[in-house]
Structure 1
Amino acid sequence: MSGSSSLSQLPRRSLVDCAIDAMREKIESGAWPVGERIPKETELAEMLQVGRNTVREAIRVLSHADVLEVRQGDGTYVRFELDPAAVMRRVTRSSLRDHFELRVILETEAARLAAQHRTARDIRKLEKTLKARGEWAEGSDLDRFLKADTAFHLAVAEATHNEALIELYRYFLVAARQAGRAVMEEHGLPEPGYAAHERIFRAIEQGDGARAARAASAVVRPLVHAFSDHTGNSD
């Protein structure tokens, strides 16, 4: 069977995590294609040099993530090549410049679509979350502020009524909040203020997609430039 060659011995940090990583590598590399049955538990335990309980737990985690499918009496099959949770962990670990470049794309298009599809209910929610966000004041509760800030941006995404974009943005919020904290605490950069966010809201309220996109870009793009330098080191 494809992929049955021995894998290198796993480091002893967390055996389940290591088994999951090794199995993901086999799937993402194509060694275990979608639709193919993976080796049995006993074979996997020997390949990974771990116990069968460890293998069973790794399979359970990957099955829960819909990467694997366990068919009783038949075996375990590859269902998807990518684990969304693993992808988002990589996004979270990306450089701040990469993060904000991605945010420019998401925020501008979300604002443009929101202006086109917003409802009266969306406008009320946007106004409420904008007021709750307010203006950052030195010494305020940073966690509370970042939560309110991401609530406003999520409301923009929800006003698009594009379920794919909304779900992607919900996944992205964890990384967005961590990046916001890094900007303010570690790098001392100013948080884009209330007025800049109000311009996004007003453009969406008035149904002006082009102006909404420009306003959203104006909030995030300066942060892209802040983490770009002549050496190319953006961390």
Structure 2
Amino acid sequence: MVETAIRKTAEAGSAGGSAVAATVRALASMIAEGHWSQGSALPPQRELARLLDISRATLREAISVLLTTGKIKAQDNGRGFVIADGSDERSGAWPQAAPYSLREVYQLRHVVESYAAQLAAMSRTEHDLAALSNTLAAFRRAAQDGDLSGYVEADTEFHRQILAISGNRLLVDMHRTFAGVMQESQRMPVLHPGDLWPAVKEHELILEAIERGDPDGALYYMRKHISMGGSRSGLSPTELP
């Protein structure tokens, strides 16, 4: 089990993939397979980095992702981390909107964000397009560097900008109201197999449709992107919007 995790993280690095994302998935897999029992302490970071043959910086970022999703939690004394139980994981994954399931979040995003993209294609300005292009460039760089924090930040900003460009204040306010749970849904794909590049390509198609003033294309590509994001987050085909 440990040898498999080491091999996967090494392969991700040699293939130009995200070492952080590979580390998150390797640790999540080891936790799921019972390598450490619930409530037991995660090995010290120095030991764990040596075990997985990764840098301490890579491990620290991976641990921050696992903390966000609730798979691990900080020790009460602040020294180290322990494997969380199921209830901790649910509240950690959705800290701002526990009543809503991941499926419900993607259903809402499918409706709201696809319509916003359609409106944005009809109302965008050159300034809007320049801002979206800059955000997409940051998203691309984060994917290239395996910078998960920067990746989620740029992803969130790209979608926020499209809502703003739509010009519909009610859609903007609705999205802002659920901003926490929306962003959490955008973190989920890093815990599942696959690299960071598909979402970059999907963003490119959305931006191209908005640039050429194609509302039907913008709606189509945003809906496809949201559905693919749900799939990468672990939703089954029957759960996808």
TM-score, with length taken from structure 1: 0.54
Evaluate the alpha carbon distance shift between residue 128 and residue 117 of structure 1 in structure 2; reply closer, same or farther with a 3 A threshold: same
Number of equivalenced pairs: 143
- The share of aligned pairs that are identical, in percent, is 30
Q: Which residue of the partner structure matches residue 178 of structure 2?
A: 172
Amino acid at match of 2:212: Q
- Distance between the aligned counterparts of 2:235 and 2:127, measured in 1? 37
Task: Please give the alpha-carbon distance, in whole angstroms, between the structure 2 residues aligned to 1:161 and 1:154.
Answer: 12
Choose the corresponding residue for 1:109, options 115, 118, 142. 115
Determine the C-alpha separation between the residues in 2 that align with 1:190 and 1:202.
22
Q: 1:222 pairs with 218, 222, 228, which one?
A: 228
Q: One-letter code of the match for 1:228?
A: S
Q: Which position in structure 1 is the counterpart of 2:166? A: 160
Residue from 137, 140, 165 that aligns with 1:134:
140
Letter of the structure 2 residue corresponding to residue 157 of structure 1: L
Structure with greater Cα Rg = 1
Unaligned runs of 5+ in 2: 1-94
What is the 5 A alignment of 1:69-218? 89-90=96-97, 93-134=99-140, 137=143, 140-185=146-191, 187-188=192-193, 190-191=195-196, 192-218=198-224
Unaligned runs of 5+ in 1: 1-87
The letter for the 2-side match of 1:99 is V
Please give the residue correspondences for 1:4-19 in structure 2 after superposition, counting only pairs within 5 Å. Answer: none
Q: Please, what is the CA RMSD of the aligned residues?
A: 2.6
Deviations 1:27-54 (A, max 9, x none): xxxxxxxxxxxxxxxxxxxxxxxxxxxx
The 3 A distance-change label for structure 1 pair 142 and 120 is same
Greater RCO, CA 8 A, separation 6+ = 2
Question: Are the counterparts in 2 of residues 110 and 160 from structure 1 also a CA contact under 8 Å?
Answer: yes
- Report the alpha carbon displacement of residue 180 of structure 1 after superposing the two structures with TM: 2.0
Deviations 1:67-115 (CA, angstroms, capped at 9, x unpaired): xxxxxxxxxxxxxxxxxxxxx944x541111111111111210100101
Distance 1:104 1:135, change over 3 A: farther
Supply the distance in 1 between the matched residues of 2:229 and 2:134 (Cα, whole angstroms): 26
Structure 1 residue ranges, 4+ long, deviating more than 6 angstroms after superposition:
none
Is the 1:135–1:194 contact (alpha carbons within 8 Å) kept by the matching residues of 2? no
Partner SS state of residue 166, structure 2: coil
Q: What is the TM-score with the length of structure 2 in the denominator?
A: 0.53
In 2, distance between residues paired with 1:203 and 1:129? Answer: 16
